[in-house]
Amino acid sequence: MTKRQDRQHKEAPALTRRGLFLGAAAGGLGAALPGAGHAGSAEPMTPAEAMSDAANPAMHLEYPFYSAADETAPQAGIETPPQRYTMFMSFDLTTRDPRDLQVLLARWSAAIGLLMKGRPVGQVEPERTAAVGLDTGEALDLGTAALTVTLGLGPRVFGPDFGLADKRPSHLRELETLPSDALRPGLRGGDLSLQACAEDPQVAYHAIRDLARIAKRTGAAATRWTQMGFGRASAGKGQETPRNLFGFRDGTRNIREAQDFNQHVWVENGPDWSHGGTYQVVRKIEMHIENWDNAQVSVQNAVFGRHKVTGAPLTGQHEFDAPDFARRDAAGSPVIPVDSHMRQMAHEENDGVKILRRSYNYTDGLNAVGRLDAGLLFVSYQNDPAHFERLQRRLGTSDALGEYVSHIGSGVFFVPPAPKEGSYIGAELFG
């Protein structure tokens, strides 16, 4: 072989045995892996085939946007097992006319219904091409990718401008100032929120981009702040607990069961129309990962109250072992430190309060002094934002993790139930 042929030969790596073995071991799905399916025929997938949308079942998942006529259902993107990627954006209302808000909610809902089916929000290339495209086109070939778009209404929607005060969800108000706050002016609040989650970030980006375009065209709302998340940092039922950028499993004790959703997430009081909705809290949390990386791992473990690699509580061996908050070491100190994150957040220590976390890792590249600029787009759902405040006030005061994080962005929104086919999110507010 010539040197050139050698190079081309290197061009064709195959699915390794090790890779296939890992797949089979991790999910018991080995037999269904395309590579494994071809094993008998000695025709392994090419890398291009393995990387195609066709080979990844997650790219074909489709969630319903509308609820059935005879049920009240939450919007998708809350109970939904967290997809890998997110694009979050909040908006300021630029109108005082409730009809403008109504039109925007109706147009957004219609568009979200299309997007979640993998369809463009309108023609990409109109037949009369001397027109502006209604859809920007970058997701044309990408399929559904498990897209969900979740829409929230901020406190000002129910303020004096729009005459909707009597429809205000009981607990919707601005968040209190919290001890961890280092909020930046450009990353605060918003009157409306959109969170797109998907198995392809380009699908999520496209959804938010085209919804922001619709907002601009209606003249009802303008962009306020946004964040893309590149890795899920929360698990739903049946999912492995992912890791945050501190390298720790995040959310081992997160809500997963229906009874917890009913008890802690879905709203059951206040105006009728709000029942079955929930409150969304969004925090952009900067993580000082270079400082963190310089901390001893024993310190890191004490900060979380868990072992870094296994995720086990410091009193246990396995991730899901129940933490023993009472156990003390030979010196008489609690094995799970009093100021550890797990203990501070534990429902056992907070009158049973639980919140659903649905967060994402993000990076903003490098900061002004050349350090890695990264963190967590924290998103929680609960039936009262006071539950978030209670936990966060405690964390901000006495949590060992506080030294390594800054809360730089914040928003709170009420997320109405899903609309019925033919209607739109928040329709009950009007008429």
Binding residues for a second copy restricted to 85-104, rule: CB under 8 A: 85
Applying CB under 8 A, does 71 fall inside the site for a second copy? Answer: yes
Check if the beta carbon of residue 222 is closer than 8 Å to that of residue 215.
yes
CA distance 418 to 66: 6
How many residues interact with a second copy (rule CB under 8 A)?
Answer: 136
- Closer CB to a second copy, residue 168 or residue 206? 206
Which segment (78-86, 154-162, 348-356, 385-393) binds a second copy by CB under 8 A?
78-86
Q: What is the token pair recorded at 156?
A: 């000002």
**Contact pick of 43, 132, 173, 177 for a second copy (by CB under 8 A):** 132
Applying CB under 8 A, does 219 fall inside the site for a second copy? Answer: no
Q: How many residues does the chain have?
A: 431
> What would the x/- binding string for a second copy be over residues 3 to 22, using CB under 8 A?
xx-xxxxxx-x-xx-xxx-x
Applying CB under 8 A, does 327 fall inside the site for a second copy? Answer: no
**Contact pick of 40, 370, 422, 431 for a second copy (by CB under 8 A):** 370
CA distance 193 to 230: 19
**Cβ-based neighbours of 234, under 8 Å, separated by 6 or more:** 82, 242, 250, 251, 254, 357, 358, 359
Query: Nearest to residue 404, comparing CAs of 239, 294, 260, 274?
Result: 294
Q: Positive or negative, the Cα torsion across 405, 411, 416, 420?
A: negative
CA distance 369 to 380: 31
**Contact pick of 231, 270, 271, 396 for a second copy (by CB under 8 A):** 231
- Closer CB to a second copy, residue 120 or residue 169? 120
> What would the x/- binding string for a second copy be over residues 134 to 153, using CB under 8 A?
--xxxxxx-xx-x-------
- Closer CB to a second copy, residue 44 or residue 155? 44
Using CB under 8 A as the binding rule, the residues of this chain from 330 to 369 that contact a second copy are 361, 363-366
Using CB under 8 A as the binding rule, the residues of this chain from 156 to 215 that contact a second copy are 199-202, 205, 209, 212-213
**Cβ-based neighbours of 174, under 8 Å, separated by 6 or more:** 155, 189, 412
- Closer CB to a second copy, residue 15 or residue 105? 15
Using CB under 8 A as the binding rule, the residues of this chain from 109 to 128 that contact a second copy are 124-126
**Cβ-based neighbours of 206, under 8 Å, separated by 6 or more:** 115, 136, 138, 139, 142
**Contact pick of 40, 69, 272, 294 for a second copy (by CB under 8 A):** 294
- Which amino acid is residue 138, in one-letter code? E
**Contact pick of 102, 218, 244, 344 for a second copy (by CB under 8 A):** 244
**Contact pick of 98, 110, 122, 133 for a second copy (by CB under 8 A):** 133
SS3 sequence, 244-278?
CCCCCECCCCCCCCHHHHHHHHCCCCCCHHHCCCE
- Closer CB to a second copy, residue 178 or residue 203? 203
Applying CB under 8 A, does 381 fall inside the site for a second copy? Answer: no
Strands 360-366 and 231-232 come out as antiparallel
Using CB under 8 A as the binding rule, the residues of this chain from 39 to 58 that contact a second copy are 45-58
**Contact pick of 60, 184, 390, 394 for a second copy (by CB under 8 A):** 60
